[in-house]
Structure 1
């Protein structure tokens, strides 16, 4: 089942559409500044300073959301802050990374997905990285955690597309964020000129959301690129397997 037209407004249209936000980040100061900027545009903002690598991060976010209807969940944190080979860091550092990318993402999808399923509408954008397609030197745990996001998003899409909920994993290349710039600068690498901007990522993510489960940044959906199969191929495989397993209730 694929929609022929996007159903989600572009980020710039949100104030006019009355779409309000719950903003989550670790830095309270940055949250306050972002909320002030958005409030000036007519957007109601709820903020919560949460460390997403904490084991109770999802519970803290659920508490901040309260009984508000969350129609779109975006999980876009998840850089590798360690900048190290696996055995060169204490295991606690990798526990935090996996908690942030895997457990917190899964718990948030489960919590807010319940309401979306009950209402018969909603969407999830689980931001990922090209590292999801295989292991690479220096980022072993990061690759593994993003591989989870890829497979988790595909499975959610297979289940929730039958109840009106869109799911997309937005597989990015290099994106111009403060954390990525910090990693590049600390490692002595040059800042690439062709990095994606956060504004472009948001625009494309919302446009592609009805056409999940995968979109690879900068590539058409029928192009394999650096992956083991194109998004179209992987989608067809999911549907084929589903059809071979009729015992599953595809109506919810």
Structure 2
């Protein structure tokens, strides 16, 4: 493949390149794998995206929402040096999220879902919400790492210690408004916004809806095979946001 194109750290297919405006000057070229629903960021690229580019990225995800996707591989390799990526966590205001970093500091790989956490499209559950869910549910899947959490006993993920979070209508609206306002303030007079909040919310929801549908199918297969099923809290949030934006 041409030197400018990278292989996906997960599936090894050639990643697509998409150009976005930088928050400082010039443009950024992001490498995206729609087959794995993942993003490769060279050093600091995730923090250099202009507010309008965050919106434009979700618009791109909306346009490609119907494509099939596959789970992230157990072992990921750096597309620059081929060494194994190290699984770890980053912290944002909305919680912790999983990242896969190159030990040689060539960059990091993350899922679209992790990007949503980083950019504030989820919120933490309150203790009252957790207690209410615990009365009706047994285990749930951690949004940050996918681990099983028994919320009758644990109010944080025992595997990654992340707070339990939910894709929430108000969190989505606030994040879209925040990035939209920042983009409006930064844009020249007469410049367009590149998509309405409803379209961008649709991109966000449809993207995670597809992933959640696949996860529910895997849960069903585990259940039929004698495994323990768990409740997908993110799926519940997706359904809530979907209905809220369609009112």
With normalisation by structure 1, the TM-score equals 0.30
Q: Which structure dedicates a bigger proportion of its chain to helix?
A: 1
Q: Which structure dedicates a bigger proportion of its chain to strand?
A: 2
